[in-house]
Amino acid sequence: MKRPGLLAAALLTFASALPLPRSASADEGMWTLNGFPTERTKALGFAPDQAWLDAVRLASVRLTSGCSASIVSDRGLVLTNHHCAARCVAQLSTKKDDLSEKGFLAKNDAAERQCPAMEINQLTAITDVTARINGVTKGLEGAAFKEARDKEIAAIEKDCAKSDQVRCDVVTLYHGGRYDLYTYRRFQDVRLVFAPEDAIAYFGGDPDNFNFPRYNLDMALLRIYEDGKPATTPNRFTWSKDGSEEGELVFVSGNPGRTSRGNTVAQLEYLRDVYLPDRLFWLAEMRGQLTVFARQSKDQQRIAKTDLLYVENGYKALRGRLEALLDKELMRQKAEAEAQVKKKVASDPKLAEYKGAWDAIERALRVARDLRTEYNAKEARGTFGSAAMGHARTLVRWAAEQNKPNGERLPEFTDSKLPAMKAHLMSKAPIHAKLERLKLILYLTKLREELGPDDPFVKKVLGAASPETLADRLLKSKLDRPAFRKKLFDGGPSAIEKSKDPMIVLAREIDADARAIRERYETQVESVVDKNTEKVANARFATFGTSTYPDATFTLRLSYGQVKGFAHRGRPVTPYTTIAGAFGRATGQPPFALPKSFTKKKGAIDLDTPMNLVTTNDIIGGNSGSPLFNAKREIVGLIFDGNIYSLGGDYGFDASVNRAVAVDSRFMVEALGSVYGAKRLLDEIQK
Amino acid sequence: MKRPGLLAAALLTFASALPLPRSASADEGMWTLNGFPTERTKALGFAPDQAWLDAVRLASVRLTSGCSASIVSDRGLVLTNHHCAARCVAQLSTKKDDLSEKGFLAKNDAAERQCPAMEINQLTAITDVTARINGVTKGLEGAAFKEARDKEIAAIEKDCAKSDQVRCDVVTLYHGGRYDLYTYRRFQDVRLVFAPEDAIAYFGGDPDNFNFPRYNLDMALLRIYEDGKPATTPNRFTWSKDGSEEGELVFVSGNPGRTSRGNTVAQLEYLRDVYLPDRLFWLAEMRGQLTVFARQSKDQQRIAKTDLLYVENGYKALRGRLEALLDKELMRQKAEAEAQVKKKVASDPKLAEYKGAWDAIERALRVARDLRTEYNAKEARGTFGSAAMGHARTLVRWAAEQNKPNGERLPEFTDSKLPAMKAHLMSKAPIHAKLERLKLILYLTKLREELGPDDPFVKKVLGAASPETLADRLLKSKLDRPAFRKKLFDGGPSAIEKSKDPMIVLAREIDADARAIRERYETQVESVVDKNTEKVANARFATFGTSTYPDATFTLRLSYGQVKGFAHRGRPVTPYTTIAGAFGRATGQPPFALPKSFTKKKGAIDLDTPMNLVTTNDIIGGNSGSPLFNAKREIVGLIFDGNIYSLGGDYGFDASVNRAVAVDSRFMVEALGSVYGAKRLLDEIQK
């Protein structure tokens, strides 16, 4: 499944840079909506104009949790993946009423249920602010560069975010080659309308994940509300009557999270030797813990389900990426391209300022190797895996940050980010004590393992306690209750500073340590890499020209491609599966058990209906939930995955085998109609 | 902890080859007992003669489970690590009487308790059989080479193993440069005499593992019995009155498991990029599962304890090895040495036959990359983690192998190996259904994950079942009962072939698949690598001379060194800790909680007693339990670990920081006397 949530660790090496130097191959590219190469699709029979692109932009939305989605009715109905709504489905479930297991269908508006912690963003404008940023950073390096840039970004975002309903992000494209201000309309009242049973949403489960043929109904319908009523959304996708056919030109608009196609060799080696193994060891151990935890009782299974889904998905995705980087041929190509750019820089006096950039990045990554254990332990994993402890840190930091000038605050506390911060803090999403305990013990054990029992920070956190006894002490905190968090927040700095809540106390005690290593890491590693990847990017521009797309940044991109099979282990794989195939594959045992809704209605279902399909669109984690549509802007599918060859797509796109995997629009219609009897929704989307 | 059990996977890349080409540095070396460089220690003040070496050989023993030990009295008393006896301790424990938690001390001979599955080997002779093997393999390659060699080895071992009390192993040294026949006296009646509480044996637990300063009493005393009485063992170590002092010359005799110091660069890359990551992902997930399983109840904690100990130890050890191989400087040195040998080969016509060896190894490892997933799934992990399923495979294979000529059987079923095979099959070691279930589900899930749900073998194993339902079906097997296994074994092939026991049935169904991939893997990978590492070894001999030691092979080796501290992160670490340090470090929370026996007796204990120490001896996994002794063959310590810098020792020895970690003999005496009141044992070892 394509979702950046897990992968969006605050690690520079995912910071985007330029894609592969060659001009993008057919179908390759995650193009911005103000930089789409219309001339390329012209050759394929259709050249979008600006009005078409604007309409796509406004009908495409983003879930801030890390997914994509689309507006599919004029009453705010939103189509996304089940796995993008899974956390909401789990949060609305109880021991007695498990919506993951049973599915959910609202009979009418009144039955639609609010998701406790979901926010949808609609991209209303893109403005070039490159000149403003470059104006203040000119000639600066390292910490000074970072400080000036962040201050200007905070100012630009503050000017833009006139109300809580507006979100403004300055997005760094081409790694500093360009800065664009993305203005979003925020929707925070999002309700669950329809979600099928896990059994059909994830039919085939982890074994089939990232594979094709597939047989999934990985869809969910949400609705945007305004003032307690369904929002009016004239900018929408319509629904295709006939679906797609093999070879057809199709588009995907969505928010790919991160790609590393423009990374230097040193950055790729860092990913291969340091970041990915470390992350994978962590995920593997977490997976082991969650698996046995979920097996203990039905209730624990429900509680752990969403985490387990993300952990398994992330594990498989990252292993694929590691395999890709262990391929010596890929690294050879990357090294060759890099040598070409370096040669150009060496021979052209105008490019002299870019000379030391590669070495500077390599040096910064050597510093990263030294600092990262401490940075992870104290800052990146410094809330010890606990949601409540996360709230504790937010409150403690907010108490300190709120009286600083906007431009000097930590970026997540600048004025433009406050609405999102508050929404998260007040979220009614349940916090499960048993799962919190599991994670606290794991993270605290790892903290001691990685820094060693004699480290002063470890001693400060654990004292004479074991991870188990400290977890139990921390779990006496009341921060799992939204009302308690509200009281502290409303009480302001003095209430937070005086609080004796055990998590607030611990967050206060360790905050200075965490800030110190964050500061070191950001100035000695991130800023240096940022500044120098900008130089590398410029050098690549100078060598290869500019007709290409920026690496992914979890902002809206448009990709074109076609419905097309591929070859796997020497055998052709056709682009469509049918519902009949799912019945053929079902064993009755999870994850290959069809839900009763399907087995009971088998006679009423048209088994020849296309079920899932593959296309050549260039997508990556974050594209989950993206609409797949034709030149008429009609939905023909719903992106939910990539095939196994897509996992290397982080580093480069291989059009011969890299495929996006989607739910066919005809299957969604057949399921909503013949299986779930959701006439109300069908009428709405087909209108 | 130094133990090869986990690491001794049937993977060629651990097959030994030659050590680093330079002549061994001071203190480096795991020397055979018939090839000890007496002249080197002469310079240090003592040159052992053959009588001394023979006495050391006969007083040093091996636990076949993968550890070392020593005879410390003339009544068969054996000193080893607690972690080497941990499985026995766990097997003798019950829900109500947990010896891991409470410790164990036999008041008299009658109270000593037989270990259900322990075998001790004493090395009685070493005979050079190189000429016999080379005689039959001359000029052969690949499968033909392997077949001829294995047949001759089986014949030699059969000639030697005149009774069930004798074990004979042909050991391949210098990777085919030399073959020696090792003859052992087997002892199968081994009883537990003394084991302290886990809390002091592993004080500091996983966080302190592979670190120093340390504070462990990782010791156990066993006794060899013959005809129901303590064995008479005149060949023994005596006990030092005064222990050791800083700078003193000390020896370690033990059975280092595997080293890879002579591996080619291609072999090291295979370890770095394929074997170690894969193994670590597996261990991390297993660790996660066992951790949560053990937390569920006190009983499950007891059941899982030994596995968890090994998994955590293996995980930490292998991560250290991976880090070592990710060090570019190490790889550069290896590549440089390899280039030097290749250059010599290219320039010397007499060495022409060795020319293609490196490329042949690299090609075979490319084949290994293709075959290993299948090989692991069907053969190496083909008993799905279940001890009972392991017995099923042994029985099914024995039914097929027993009528073949000795030389044509699978090596583990040749005549000389039958006593060990039978002993394992009839072992009374308990098999815990809950732990079996955990592992079966994990292994079956991994099987499906790695080969994919559509693989014919996966379909054969799982059919329409899920890993859970298949595990439950298999657990109806009666193979967990020794009597049932005996009945099948005694019933011979027809009883085994007719059995409807579900594990026997499954083992029968998949055996042909497993044998087929094993055959392919052995002939296309292992034999090619074996044959060509022999050539590489010979080429290195020709380049660098022969005054060096063979890579470790889990056979008896002697190492010399001295008591000496080291520098860690720029600060000196002194070589001894004291009991006072343990009391200072104790927090009262596991794993930093001292047992009551110590806290209650604190007043009676001499707190200045040296507790643990470090030496420069060159050891590796398998050396656990080795005696540390002085020139007078007096025990001054008990090896139980290496420091963090020792983890790279698999690939090379760095005398400046690589240290062996031992329990001080004076601490063992103080604990036996002042804490446990074990006067009977003290009198015996100090006699």
The per-residue pLDDT for A541 is: 75
Within a 13 Å sphere around the CA of B27, how many CA atoms are in the beta-carbon half? 23
Residue whose entry in the numeric block shows the structure tokens 């099987």:
B447
Determine, for residues B296 and A296 on separate chains, whether the beta-carbon distance falls below 8 Å: yes
What is the mean predicted confidence (pLDDT) over B316-345? 94
What token pair was written down for B351? 């060495």
Q: How far apart are CA B470 and CA B386, in angstroms?
A: 13
Give the other-Cβ count within 10 Å of A83's Cβ: 28
What is the mean predicted confidence (pLDDT) over A471-495? 97
The band of B204, judged by pLDDT with boundaries at 50, 70 and 90, is: very high
Give the other-Cβ count within 10 Å of A411's Cβ: 12
Which of A104-108, A195-199, A212-216, A645-649 comes out lowest in average pLDDT? A645-649
- Residue-wise pLDDT for A284-306, tens only, equals 999 999 999 999 999 999 999 99
What residues are paired with A663 via a beta bridge?
A612, A638
Residue B545 in this model has a pLDDT that exceeds 90: no
**Chain B contact for A204 (CB, 8 A cutoff):** yes
* Percent share of chain A, pLDDT over 70: 96
For an interface test with A, the pick among B269, B285, B331, B583 (most A C-beta atoms closer than 10 Å) comes out as B285
Determine, for residues A281 and B286 on separate chains, whether the beta-carbon distance falls below 8 Å: no
The band of A10, judged by pLDDT with boundaries at 50, 70 and 90, is: very low
Dihedral sign computed on CA atoms, order B631, B633, B638, B639: positive
What is the mean predicted confidence (pLDDT) over B109-124? 96
**Chain A contact for B573 (CB, 8 A cutoff):** no
Within a 13 Å sphere around the CA of A48, how many CA atoms are in the beta-carbon half? 28
Which of A222-226, A551-555, B143-147, B496-500 comes out lowest in average pLDDT? B143-147
Q: In Å, how far is A420's CA from the nearest CA of chain B?
A: 34
For an interface test with B, the pick among A286, A466, A568 (most B C-beta atoms closer than 10 Å) comes out as A466
Q: Could you please report the per-residue DSSP string of A204-263? A: THHHHTT-SS------EEEEEEETTEEPP--S--EE-SS---TT-EEEEEE------TT-
Residue A12 in this model has a pLDDT that exceeds 50: no
Q: Could you please report the per-residue DSSP string of B486-536? A: HHHHHHHHHHHHH---HHHHHHHHHHHHHHHHHHHHIIIIIHHHHHHHHHH
Nearest CA in chain B to A311: B285
Residue B321 in this model has a pLDDT that exceeds 80: yes
Nearest CA in chain B to A284: B285
The per-residue pLDDT for B541 is: 76
The per-residue pLDDT for B146 is: 87
- Residue-wise pLDDT for B134-173, tens only, equals 999 998 887 888 899 999 999 999 999 999 899 999 999 8
Q: In Å, how far is B105's CA from the nearest CA of chain A?
A: 29
For an interface test with B, the pick among A365, A589, A643, A644 (most B C-beta atoms closer than 10 Å) comes out as A589
CATH number of B17-119+188-261+553-685: 2.40.10.120
What token pair was written down for B489? 């074994």
Nearest CA in chain B to A452: B207
- Residue-wise pLDDT for B458-470, tens only, equals 999 999 999 999 9
What token pair was written down for A7? 């992968």
Q: Are A99 and A311 a contacting pair, CB within 8 Å?
A: no
The band of B25, judged by pLDDT with boundaries at 50, 70 and 90, is: low
Entry pTM: 0.91
The per-residue pLDDT for B649 is: 92
Pairing of the two strands A238-239 and A634-642: parallel
Determine, for residues B204 and A290 on separate chains, whether the beta-carbon distance falls below 8 Å: no
Q: Are A136 and A443 a contacting pair, CB within 8 Å?
A: no
C-alpha R_g of chain A: 25
Q: Among residues A631, A636, A682, which one has the least CA distance to residue A660?
A: A636
Q: Are A399 and A493 a contacting pair, CB within 8 Å?
A: yes
The band of A5, judged by pLDDT with boundaries at 50, 70 and 90, is: very low
Q: Which residues of A550-575 are buried (b: 16+ CB within 10 A; e: fewer)?
A: bbbbbbbbbbbbbbbbbebeeeebeb
Determine, for residues A465 and B589 on separate chains, whether the beta-carbon distance falls below 8 Å: yes
Of the two residues B243 and B27, the one the predictor is more confident about is B243
Give the other-Cβ count within 10 Å of A463's Cβ: 11
Q: Which amino acid is at B318?
A: L
Q: Among residues B258, B470, B667, B33, which one has the least CA distance to residue A587?
A: B470
**Chain A contact for B43 (CB, 8 A cutoff):** no
Interface of B with A in 574-603 (CB under 8 A): 587-592
Report DSSP state, residue B481: S
What residues are paired with B230 via a beta bridge?
B225
Residue B14 in this model has a pLDDT that exceeds 80: no
Of the two residues B189 and A7, the one the predictor is more confident about is B189
Q: Among residues A434, A394, A203, which one has the least CA distance to residue A307?
A: A434
Interface of A with B in 422-481 (CB under 8 A): 438, 448-449, 452-453, 463-466, 469
Q: How far apart are CA A29 and CA A32, in angstroms?
A: 9
Report DSSP state, residue B588: S
The per-residue pLDDT for A390 is: 98
Q: Which amino acid is at B94?
A: T
C-alpha distances (whole Å) from B62 to each of A181, A618, B128, B361, B429 are 70, 59, 21, 32, 20
Q: Which amino acid is at B282?
A: W
What is the mean predicted confidence (pLDDT) over B492-516? 98
The per-residue pLDDT for A119 is: 95
Report DSSP state, residue A568: E
- Residue-wise pLDDT for B585-626, tens only, equals 999 999 999 999 999 999 999 999 999 999 999 999 999 999
Residue B400 in this model has a pLDDT that exceeds 50: yes
The per-residue pLDDT for B546 is: 55
- Residue-wise pLDDT for A396-405, tens only, equals 999 999 999 9
C-alpha distances (whole Å) from B380 to each of B308, B384, B419 are 20, 9, 22
- Residue-wise pLDDT for B207-240, tens only, equals 999 999 999 999 999 999 999 999 999 999 999 9
The per-residue pLDDT for A484 is: 98
For an interface test with B, the pick among A270, A300, A448, A587 (most B C-beta atoms closer than 10 Å) comes out as A587
What is the average pLDDT value for chain B, to the nearest integer?
93
Residue among B291, B466, B591 minimizing CB distance to A589 = B466
The per-residue pLDDT for A15 is: 23
Distance from the first to the final alpha carbon of chain A: 30
Residue A468 in this model has a pLDDT that exceeds 90: yes
Give the other-Cβ count within 10 Å of A677's Cβ: 15
What is the mean predicted confidence (pLDDT) over A14-18? 26
C-alpha distances (whole Å) from B298 to each of B87, B94, B98, B301 are 17, 11, 10, 5
User: Count H helices, E strands: chain A?
Assistant: 25, 22
Residues of A in contact with B466 (CB under 8 A): 587, 589-590, 592
Residue B394 in this model has a pLDDT that exceeds 90: yes
What is the mean predicted confidence (pLDDT) over B309-314? 94
- Residue-wise pLDDT for A235-268, tens only, equals 999 999 899 999 999 999 999 998 988 899 999 9
What is the average pLDDT value for chain A, to the nearest integer?
93
Q: How far apart are CA B94 and CA B90, in angstroms?
A: 8
The per-residue pLDDT for A277 is: 97
- Residue-wise pLDDT for A382-420, tens only, equals 999 999 999 999 999 999 999 999 989 999 999 988 988
What is the mean predicted confidence (pLDDT) over A452-469? 96
Residue B237's region, left for phi above 0, alpha for psi from -120 to 50, else beta, is beta
**Chain B contact for A286 (CB, 8 A cutoff):** yes
**Chain B contact for A296 (CB, 8 A cutoff):** yes
Rounding to the nearest 10 degrees, give the CA dihedral for residues A512, A514, A516, A517.
160
Q: Are B280 and B36 a contacting pair, CB within 8 Å?
A: no
Residue B385 CA to chain centroid, in angstroms?
18
The per-residue pLDDT for A25 is: 53
Residue among A207, A281, A322 minimizing CB distance to B284 = A281
**Chain A contact for B483 (CB, 8 A cutoff):** no
Q: Among residues A252, A259, A258, A235, which one has the least CA distance to residue A33?
A: A252
The band of B9, judged by pLDDT with boundaries at 50, 70 and 90, is: very low
The per-residue pLDDT for A247 is: 95
- Residue-wise pLDDT for A553-576, tens only, equals 999 999 999 999 999 988 999 999
What token pair was written down for B49? 């003669």
Q: Are A105 and A99 a contacting pair, CB within 8 Å?
A: no
Determine, for residues B281 and A319 on separate chains, whether the beta-carbon distance falls below 8 Å: yes
Pairing of the two strands B238-239 and B166-173: unpaired
Q: In Å, how far is B321's CA from the nearest CA of chain A?
A: 13
Peptide bond into A591 cis (omega under 30): yes
Burial of A179 (0-12, 13-18, 19+ CB in 10 A): buried
The per-residue pLDDT for B19 is: 33
The per-residue pLDDT for B548 is: 78
Q: Among residues B80, B124, B242, which one has the least CA distance to residue B632?
A: B242
Q: How far apart are CA A626 and CA B191, in angstroms?
A: 66
Residues of A in contact with B273 (CB under 8 A): 326
**Chain B contact for A293 (CB, 8 A cutoff):** yes
Residue A667 in this model has a pLDDT that exceeds 60: yes
The per-residue pLDDT for A537 is: 86
What is the mean predicted confidence (pLDDT) over A635-660? 94
Q: Among residues A252, A156, A194, which one has the least CA distance to residue A78?
A: A194
Q: How far apart are CA A125 and CA A161, in angstroms?
A: 12
